[in-house]
Amino acid sequence: MLRFDRRFIHNFDWVMVLLLLLVCGMAVANLYSSTWSGGPDPSRVFFKQIYIMLAGFGAILFVLTFDYRELEALGLVAYIGILLLLLYTGFFVDTVAGTQRWLNLGFFRLQPSEPAKLIMVVVLAGYFSRREVGEGLRFMDIIKPGVLTLIPFVLIMIQPDLGTALMLGIIYVSMILFVRLRWSTYVILATLGGAASVIFWKYLLKDYQRRRIETFLNPEGDPMNQGYQIMQSKIAVGSGQVFGKGFLEGTQGHLHFLPERHTDFAFSVWAEEWGFAGSVFFLICYFFMLLWGINIAMTARDKFGVLLAFGLVMLIFWQAVINLLMIMGFLPVVGIPLPLFSYGGSSLLTTLIGIGLLMNIRIRRFQSRG
């Protein structure tokens, strides 16, 4: 447990706190604008996100009270627990908009697939921290973690939630590449990946998911249906020009041309109102926060800490990159939010807990290495 030690205060991650407050402050302002209806009061959605954000800050404080190394032993228990939640969600909860993704807890709707991503990072970090890499991992060495990733991947696809399922695969690939593979393993993976892509396209994707990818390749071919989101998002981003239209002055969002403006396309609203300059400022703050996370990984005291910190950064980084490329039309719309910025309680809470774990690793870097 956390002892009252002056070294904790000295090593407390004030840089991460500052960057987190900057990003969350911009997210709150953007959510106010994207959900503003012209009246004097903020929307109910705005207040709900504020409450969840405060709960997330409380979760960060809680995460700092224990040594992150304890998670290595608890990873399997958490993994089994999240599988049970995914099973229950995929088969027994009510269908909402054709999907089964949320557990209604009364005071909060939990999307189990969000914490599943965080738990997979913990499980994979624990697994690889116990492996001797030597000249690199053989193909047989990555089968077990691959199966561990595949099980929640399938359960999330059943809901269906393509974006979140893909994130599990991306986390897995990022971590095995970071640990290091043998060249023969790269060849086998490339071959299997090509075959899996064909199977995935023909047999696993829903019709609407295929249409999203086809729309990405030719959004102008269906401008009033599947291509509408991408085209309106690109208009919003481009119309911001250098300094934007001003706070609460974005026309694409407030005139309801831009769909999902407070969730998947939240950054489109920001780009329209704050322009290129505001977008660059946000991206500098956001990605410096992730670079600081890489610094935490590099200074971690043990192998598990290095892998955990790297996995947490990759979890946020890839979601951010995919979301930003998506709103600019460089990737198909797959329903991946911009962490900390898009509206969504489960995503926000999961990301803040991940940030708390990064701070946990940072604050204990002075302790002897295991």
pLDDT, one tens digit per residue, over 288-304 is 999 999 999 999 989 99
- The pTM is what? 0.89
Q: Would you say residue 204 has pLDDT above 50?
A: yes
Q: Which tokens hold the place of 308?
A: 């955990």
Q: Would you say residue 175 has pLDDT above 70?
A: yes
Q: Which tokens hold the place of 207?
A: 């019709």
Assess contact for 179 and 133: CB atoms under 8 A: yes
Most confident of the ranges 187-191, 260-264, 332-336: 187-191
Kindly give, in sequence order, each residue whose CB lies less than 8 Å from that of residue 223, ignoring residues fewer than 6 positions away: 231
Banded model confidence at residue 222, pLDDT cuts 50, 70, 90: low
Q: Which residue has the higher pLDDT, 217 or 104?
A: 104
Quote the percentage of the chain above a pLDDT of 90. 49
What's the mean pLDDT when you consider all of the chain? 86
**pLDDT tens figures, 317-338:** 999 999 999 888 888 777 789 9
Domain ranges of the chain: 6-35+42-363
**pLDDT tens figures, 141-150:** 899 999 999 9
